[in-house]
Amino acid sequence: MRRTVLVLLVAVFALATVLGGFAQQKSVFQGNSKEVYYMVDFVSGVEYWVGVYEGFKVAAAQLGVDTVYTGAIKYDLNEELDVYNKVVAKNPAGILACPMVPDAWIDPINAAVDKGIPVMTFATDSPQSKRFAFITSDNVKEGYAAADAICKAIGGKGEVTATENPGQLNHEIRIKSFKERIEKNWPNVKVVGTFATNQDMDKANSGLRTVLQAHPNVKGVFTPEANSGLGCAQAAYDLSKGDIKVITADINESVLDMISKGEMFGAIQPNVFIQGYMSMMYLYMAKHNLLNPMNGWKADGKPWAINLPFVDNGLDVVTKDTAKFFYTKNFLKALDSRGVEETAQQWVQRAKPTLTFGK
């Protein structure tokens, strides 16, 4: 009996020693506050980026690393690339970038990767570059969802139109998919008079008025981004008091206000928080090379094993019934966050000890 007890005590002590050793080991997901990850975009005042950055910095705070939000103030490729190149010169731990024009970003992204900086793209992509991952809501699905929603709203027959932003890949895919879906699934609906706005609200407003003069039977409008949606919605409401249904992609407070009041039909909204959150996680995994999957990444000479050509962060169709759940100001208030004004380290200091979710 004594021998059995002694053996059990030795076993328990050995197990405790092993577990204690594990407990003293630092988690690979326990980063350093000196590690800084940058998020670079364009039209940096757009509300869409706030939700993305919120997810980005929440993940960073949980990992113990820091973040910086920056980007071009205007819809200007050269300005965005200038900001990006200045970020690369700082040799950050990683970069989350939203390329305006795919091919123009190939060399800048490759230059950063060649320096050992992992680069990931979001919302819009540069697929021929060496970026290791791209995350977005599926732009094809967004176009399909917009087409189905607007065609149902107009009773499955009639004319619709759309705005375009030539050169921006995600917008081009949304509009192309919108047209394809209607042509295939809605035989009694025709797309007419599409026009370019380059995300300019005034151009969208005047452009729709011009289209309606040539096509007075248009009953629905799709825009691939919020600024054009606001311009079109204002023109449509002025002329039809809501009979012309406008649906946009992406939201901001003004879009939500118009949807809530019935002045705009709806919006397609990617899950921006998940987009930012998972981006930070993937950048961290790439930076620390945490994966060694069953593939030929070493033979291919890649700097890191992770390779995610497309990650879908999901989407929602926002309507008058659901708009109240999508206000950024309410979301930030619930997190006690100051949005893009706040770094990850500031966020984590205020969030302690409540840095857990789902409770």
Q: Tens of pLDDT along 314-326?
A: 999 999 999 999 9
End-to-end alpha carbon distance in the chain: 48
**What is the pLDDT confidence band of residue 14, given thresholds at 50, 70 and 90?**
very low
Q: Which of 76-80, 109-113, 121-125, 166-170 shows the lowest per-residue confidence on average (mean pLDDT)? A: 166-170
**What is the pLDDT confidence band of residue 8, given thresholds at 50, 70 and 90?**
very low
pLDDT one-digit tens code per residue, 54-70:
999 999 999 999 999 99
The CATH fold of domain 36-137+271-314+327-351? Rossmann fold (3.40.50)
> What percent of the chain lies above the pLDDT cut of 90?
72
**Fold match between 36-137+271-314+327-351 and 139-270?**
yes
What ranges do the domains of the chain cover? 36-137+271-314+327-351, 139-270
pTM to 2 decimals?
A: 0.77
Mean pLDDT across 83-96: 98
Architecture of domain 139-270: 3-Layer(aba) Sandwich (3.40)
The one-character DSSP state at 75 is S
CA angle 171, 176, 180 (to 5 degrees): 150
The one-character DSSP state at 82 is H
Per-chain mean pLDDT for the chain: 89
Using the predicted structure, report yes or no on whether residue 108 has a pLDDT greater than 80. yes
Q: Over the range 310-346, which residues count as b (16 or more CB within 10 Å of their CB) and which as e?
A: ebebebbebebebbeebbbeebbeebebebbebbbbe
Instruction: Identify how many contiguous H helices and E strands the chain contains and give both numbers.
Output: 12, 13
**What is the pLDDT confidence band of residue 11, given thresholds at 50, 70 and 90?**
very low
